Structures are given as structure tokens and as C-alpha cells.
Chain A
């Protein structure tokens, strides 16, 4: 990275008030293992990412998920990937504990305002059972409830084509998990039910608040040897309230069309999500693949998936990944609905047992633009194009 890039990155950091204050407070912290592993009843721990991304396109700003109102424009930006999370856990006895976790990241409010992402009581009546009640991370597919914990995965960020379109962070409700050995491996099942609220940005001019009266679902898992498999189902009943008016000018017919069609597409009362996931980690290899399909009661369909392969050599893990998202909505002509695919090539370097440096290059081919881009130009709106992103990140846990 050039000096000027660091300067731009550093300047962007200044706006991240919450993060810097918290990071300064963390400097004297010892290795995380000692902080959160001590046998005291009350433990504090946290995670974070300092990330900068370079976008080569002046036609479209990159976001890492649907909730971000502004993106990373041409040049360097620390907005979309940087975050900080902190957790407090109180162990009452062998059967009960309480956990609360907050996160500060750039999201729908347009700033890094911290949010309470988890707050629950857990009850473990027997080794086979676990029950939790409170605010719980949405666990509708593999890694969905830990996608902000950069230190936990090889990539600089989870594949945006697959995770960026997820509209829910957490539910308020209960879940139950049952585990038992099966054959040579371990099987477990989880059921969850609750309610939630979600804020998404659909175009520069159109935001939606989705009130989810009921969300329920579950998943079945099987792990044996180096393999893990999951099949999941989630259903939600919701009401969408839009805000914002079209301001793109009547001459940009594509932007106007997108605005109207996307608005129409997000008027639905219920959505079902099906997901398949697989992890294979024999020794040095780290292979993952997932496939999702969401379907609304208005016959809108969002498909996505990715496959990733990494190989660990000492502290270095190079990886390659391919991801894709494609949509179809009634009312949007075939082939005109949002669709894109991404090739990613990256490297994770484990500096210490609580610190990883990462770099990643993404080549995004946007077949039909929409949903995951901001401040788009008129040329782009008519046909999309290619975008190259170069990112650097520092992930840590404490």
C-alpha cells in the first residue's frame, strides 16, 4: 500500500470515534486467552476488525451488507469493514449463565452507533440440552451468527454475495439445541422462534424497515471426522415500511425503474429461507461451501452461494473463493434483476494467537446492478460492469 493510501485510510479512521476510544482502552490488555479464560465467574472479551478497502470504480460504491446506507467509493475507505465488539458473561453456576454482547459498526443509522446484538440467559439442564432466551444472533445458516467475528474465518470479510443480503442480525426469542452421538460422529438439532426488526437500504433513495412479527426455524447438523454438514430452514412473517423518495432525476430511466421494481419486490408478507452448508477441514486444508434460497410469498426469489478453499502453511493461509447471488422478482423482466458474482483471492497471516493480518483482492462482475451498490452512475445503472477491490484488514480478539 502506498503512503498516500495509508494517509487516506488513517483520515477515515478519525471519524470512527467509538472504535478508537475503545481500542485505546484495550491497549494494555493481555493476551485474550488470559482475559476470557480465567475461571472467575465474570469474564470480559471482545473482537474487532480494522479494515480498509480500495475501490477502482467511480461508478459504484461498495457496501459489505444491505444495511449500510453509504459505501466505499473510488479510492480508499475504512467505513465498510471496520468494527468492534465486546462481550460480558456471568456464570451463575454449572447450569445457568448470562451473556451480553454489543457491536459498533457502520450500519443503517449511517454511523458507528453501538448496538446490543446479544443478551440472553442460558440454561443447560443436561449435557445433551441447551436452552437460551433473550436477544439471540440469527442462526439461520452456517456462520450467520458469527459473521462479524473476522478472527474466526480466513477471509477478509464473509462473501458479500452470500452474507451481505442477509437482512436480520438478531431475534428476540428462544432457542433449544439437542445433541447426541450418531454413528462415528455427532448430530445436533436446533430450533428457534422469536420476533425481530430489520433495516435495509434497497437503493440510495429507498430504505425499508421490516417488522418481523414471527420468525422461526431450525437446523440439523452432523459432524464426523473433518466433515461438518448443515441443512437449515427459516420462515418469517413481516410487514415492510418504506422511507425515502426517488431523487435520481427522470432522465436516468434505469435508476427510476430499479427504484420502482425493487420497492414492489420488497412488498411481501412472508419469506422462507432454505440453506445447505458444508465444512471440510482435514489438516491444512480449509474447504467450505454453502447454498441458500429465499422465497417470498410474492414469488420473489433470492439465490446465493459460495465455495472457498484455503491451505494453511505455518502462520500463512492463502485462499480462493467464488461467490454468486442472483435474484428474480415478478414484475422485473427476466435477466434484468440483480445478479453478480465475485472471485476472491486472499491471504491470512496469523501474527499472534489473537491477531491476524489479512489481504484480499475481489473481482466483482456485476451482471445486473442493484441492492449491494450505492451512489451509482447512470452508465452503471444500465448494465453494471466489473469492479476490483483491494482490501487490508487486522482482526483481533481479546
Chain B
């Protein structure tokens, strides 16, 4: 079965004409969330409103090697600007930035074990354990 899932997802990705460079936002496959809007993703990753469509508190996770590309695609900002933004929020006690994962394997592990986790991987590296809820085009 997982093999079939994988094939279906790959077929879907190819069908929608995804370039290799696209970024797929992924969640746990069992949390009942089918898709996410870009403004939902922005609110969650920028710490404005961390509520998933199923009502749960979202756990956003940054994939460090992909982070610069992700924030360019999401909010058109450099990492220095993102850090500057978080400096304001962190040092006025308004919350903390997403958890940091160093590898796609770590992201997969977190997403598989946490129904509220929301992260991103290169669209070419999506695996069957994850559900793609939004694709960001670069």
C-alpha cells in the first residue's frame, strides 16, 4: 500500500506540473487536514495565529537547509528580515519561532509522530508518510 500511495502522490505532483524547486508543505497524514491556505501557513510560521484548520494548536517546524527558500516563497523576505521579525516578538514575550530541524529525515520523524506538526520539504522529496497540504511555487 505505501508503494501505491507513493506512486499516486508522485503522479499527482507530476500531473500538476511541479518543478523540482517547488516546496511542499506537509503534515501528518492522519490529522484530517487536506489543505492549507497560504495565509494560514503565513499566520502559523510567523507566529501570528497558530491554529490548524482542525482546531488544534499548530507545531511549525523549519527545515534549516530549505529555510531561506521557504521564507522567500512564503513572504518574500530574507533570513535576516525573518530573524529581525522574530527578535521583536521573542524579546517582547510574544512567542517563539518554529522548531528547527536540520534534515528532511528529522522533519519526517517529527511529522509522523505529531499530528499537529506542520513543516515543509522539497516537493521532489515527499514521502508517503506525509500529506501535502500546500505547494509553494518559487
Contacts and interface: CB of A to CB of B under 8 A. Distances in A.
Nearest to A352: B80
Interface stretch (A36-44, A230-238, A259-267, A333-341): A36-44
Contact of B57 (A101, A124, A354): A124
A122 B84 CA distance: 23
A87 B91 contact: yes
A126 B91 CA distance: 22
A223 B49 CA distance: 11
A34 B99 CA distance: 10
A144 B49 CA distance: 21
A194 to B, nearest CB: 14
A186 B49 contact: yes
B76 interface: yes
Contacts of A153: 84, 88
Q: Report, as a range, how many residues of chain B touch the other chain.
A: 20 to 34
A85 B91 contact: yes
A152 B48 CA distance: 17
Contacts of A184: 39
Contacts of B83: 32-33, 151, 353-354, 397
B49 A179 contact: yes
Contacts of B39: 181, 184-186
A161 B105 CA distance: 51
Given A101-B93, A353-B83, A128 B99 contact: no
Contacts of B84: 151-153, 356
Nearest to A32: B83
B88 A37 contact: no
A33 B97 CA distance: 9
Interface in A38-52: 38-39, 43, 45, 47
A182 to B, nearest CB: 11
Contacts of B99: 37, 39
* B49, B84, B97 pick with most chain A CB within 10 angstroms: B84
Contacts of B93: 99, 101, 118, 120, 122, 132, 136-137, 145
Given A37-B97, A37-B99, A39-B99, A45 B90 contact: yes
Given A136-B93, A184-B39, A353-B83, A146 B88 contact: yes
Contacts of B57: 94, 124, 126-127
Interface in A110-156: 118, 120, 122, 124, 126-128, 132, 136-137, 139, 143, 145-146, 149, 151-153
Given A87-B90, A186-B43, A397-B87, A353 B79 contact: yes
Given A101-B93, A128-B49, 19 more contacts: A37-B99, A126-B57, A127-B51, A132-B93, A145-B92, A146-B91, A151-B84, A152-B87, A152-B88, A179-B48, A179-B49, A181-B43, A181-B49, A184-B39, A186-B49, A188-B48, A312-B81, A315-B80, A354-B83
